[in-house]
Amino acid sequence: MDMFWRSILLLATGLCISACAQFPKRDTQTCDKLEPALQPYIEQGIFQGNLLLAKDGKVLCLRSVGFADESNKTPISNTSRFPIASLSKPIVATLLLKLQENGTLDLQTTLDKYLPEFKAPWANQVTLHHLLTNRSGVPNHFLLPGWGTGRYQQTLPKSELLNEVARMELAFTPGTQYLYSNLGWLLLGEVVESATGKGLEENLQEHIFAPLSMQHTGLVYQTQTRLVTGLRWGKKGGWQPQNDLHMQVFNAAGGIYSTAEDLLRYLSALHQEDMLTPQSKRLMFSADSPYGWRIDTLALANKVEKQVHSYDGKLQGHSSLAYQVLEDNVSLIVLSNTGIGPVHKETLADDILRAFYSLPYPDRKDAPSLKLNRGLLDNQWASALNKIKSQAIEDPHTKVLLIDLAQQLGWSGKRLKAIDLYTWLMNNFPENHELKISLDRLCSLHSDYNACQSTKKNKRVN
């Protein structure tokens, strides 16, 4: 480590008192308590990665499952580095608040003041605050011209990317509506670099990573460090590696990699007194327009609710989630390289917290969506789906989990299997308009597939 970073660490000693301490070994009793809730997700192949639960900044259980490199069978460990996707956003928001505290930025200032070469006609209307709260009206990346061609999934000159963004029209007047926009966060990263004269990763290191001793955290597209390999369902069962994507679009929006323990250091510091000023915290955790967080009430059981700060992220082959249970100072972090869908990820987290609080939780070992996932891995999809079709879907959450799996199938390229599942769901829940939209979209790409032909025939009959 060079003298610059040594000096940063020395200056930040006070901040590191609690957040940078060495974590003790896991508490076997707590891990044993959580294991029955976690086990169905492991057995059915929905989850592998790292799951960490801590209280008062101290690790109670850190469970590592699976392989960081499937081909070499390198086990996932507590130092395995995962791309955290959109869980990057709270960290980047923290950086912008730190830069406002030291006078480098004013978050109420418009984009044109910091990016004079960014020629969007709306740059003098959109403030940094608008971008941080997803109320800018800047469209999402799916609307970039030629997004579906793969052009942005390869190396693309940043200037060309920004020119494309500048030509896009706002979806609404800034500040009037909410629209989640990765492109808005991309612009925030550009603002940081322009205002400071330093790269985004250098700023993150100086203001967050180094002071908190987050030694295994950085930017995915700036590192030569070996990261955990993302996985997707194989053509003949099992897992196969995801192809690496460059995607500068997700730099500040979702480009950070980290470990479970490093993220705990961040969560612990953020929810103490010394990371941000009270005024900055009020902005970050505003009930109406938080910066990079969700302010949730988590219903764990009848009359048992917990106030949490939460956020998650997802890229192809990677998925992340962080909960901070405020009243109990409990942290839960999930990092997975199976690309677990958002509903399955949140259901897993909720089950883990119920187990921790000694509350009842469902036995998921026979959950239809988990069984179907095992069918995919065992190359027994048709058989697994036929067995599920013979069951009545009475639990509303079971339906939501099945839809989550269908969406993940479509997103990961298993479109025909997604059509199979959507078709069956449509037959059971014909009133669900979102199911119809999803099925119609997939069938427009595979109009000759038998399930799509049957769907068309049923429409004509009705």
With b for 16 or more beta-carbon neighbours within 10 A and e for fewer, the 381-416 pattern comes to: beebbeebeeeebeeeebbebbbbbbbbbbebebbb
pTM: 0.91
Contact 349, 321 (CB under 8 A): yes
Side-chain half-sphere CA neighbours of 339 within 13 A: 23
- The C-alpha atoms of residue 24 and residue 432 are separated, in whole angstroms, by 49
Backbone torsion region of residue 349, taken as left when φ is above 0, otherwise alpha when ψ lies between -120 and 50, otherwise beta: alpha
Question: Would you state the pLDDT for residue 213?
Answer: 96
Question: Would you state the pLDDT for residue 171?
Answer: 97
Q: What is the dihedral of CA 54, 55, 58, 62, to 10 degrees?
A: -20
Interhelix angle 342-356/28-43, nearest 10 degrees: 150
Question: Would you state the pLDDT for residue 29?
Answer: 92
The Cβ of residue 23 has, within 10 Å, a number of other Cβ atoms equal to: 16
Question: Would you state the pLDDT for residue 224?
Answer: 64
Question: Would you state the pLDDT for residue 145?
Answer: 87
**Tokens linked to 369:** 């969506």
Alpha helix (H) ranges present in 256-295?
Answer: 260-270, 278-284
Backbone torsion region of residue 2, taken as left when φ is above 0, otherwise alpha when ψ lies between -120 and 50, otherwise beta: beta
- The C-alpha atoms of residue 16 and residue 72 are separated, in whole angstroms, by 36
Contact 273, 237 (CB under 8 A): no
The domains located in the chain, with CATH, are 1-363 (3.40.710.10), 368-461 (1.25.40)
Question: Would you state the pLDDT for residue 23?
Answer: 52
Instruction: Pick out the chain residues at pLDDT < 70.
Output: 1-26, 222-224, 245-247, 455-462
Q: Which residue bears the tokens 């390869």?
A: 154
Backbone torsion region of residue 195, taken as left when φ is above 0, otherwise alpha when ψ lies between -120 and 50, otherwise beta: alpha
